[in-house]
Amino acid sequence: MKNLTIRNIPDDLYQIIGRVASRNRRSIQQQLLVQLERLRIMDNESPLIRAAGIRKRLAGRHLGDTVLEVREERSR
């Protein structure tokens, strides 16, 4: 396994990473590894597969017809 050193991380970014890690009960190193793993998955995932995953997560939800809703609002 390789090691990675990151220098000159902006303070605000480091604080965000720390807060997210704390919420997930992880060390900063563990949180960064999780984030890097997610990036790898996203990079390997084709847009069609990602779209299918989104559709699956949204299945059964009524999202409404925004065009119809805007028209109804305008006609009031």
* Predicted pLDDT at 19: 96
Q: Which tokens sit at 19?
A: 């807060």
Please tell me the pTM assigned to this model.
0.54
Q: How far apart are CA 71 and CA 37, in angstroms?
A: 44
pLDDT digits (tens, 9 = 90+) for 11-61: 999 999 999 999 999 999 999 999 999 888 777 777 888 888 889 998 888
Whose tokens are 């960064």? That residue is 32
Any idea what the Cα angle at residue 71 is, between residues 75 and 54, rounded to 5°?
Answer: 155
* Predicted pLDDT at 44: 72
pLDDT digits (tens, 9 = 90+) for 47-66: 888 888 889 998 888 777 88
Q: Which residue pairs, CB below 8 angstroms and at least 24 apart, start in 21-24?
A: none
The residue type of 59 is A
Helices (H) and strands (E) in the chain, counts: 4, 0
